[in-house]
Amino acid sequence: MNRDATLLRLMLCIAENVKQHAEGTCSNFTKERAISYELITLGEAVKDLSTPLKQAHSHIPWQLISGTRDRLAHDYEDISSKIVWDIATTHLPKLVHDITGILNAQEGSHA
């Protein structure tokens, strides 16, 4: 499996972790911290994806995802809980759909 596929699969695992954190029974503060950590990890994975893959799928906001990582990691005091929740519940499911499509296309081209 190539590096991009490995990173994309990692991103799907991270998205599943976010979903579990969001649905968990711990405090909202703990949920937000756990989700923020996962989003930081997701942004790191995006930074490691190859440029050709990102260019081939330019409809995905790769730079916004990695920029969100930077903001969560370095400007955490000014992060809105609403933004973190919106990413987890609205934007991440779309990203999962897009990543799944990329992986399915890659697997189909190797069949």
Amino acid at 52: P
- What contacts 53, CB < 8 A, 6 or more positions away? 4, 102
- Residues of the chain below pLDDT 50: none
The whole domain housing 74 covers 3-109
Query: Could you tell me which of 24, 25, 21 has the C-alpha nearest to residue 87?
Result: 21
Residue 79 · residue 37 · CB < 8 Å: no
For the chain, what is the domain count? 1
Task: Give the pLDDT score at 43.
Answer: 97
Task: Give the pLDDT score at 111.
Answer: 57
- What contacts 36, CB < 8 A, 6 or more positions away? 72, 76, 79, 84
Query: Could you tell me which of 85, 87, 91, 3 has the C-alpha nearest to residue 48?
Result: 3
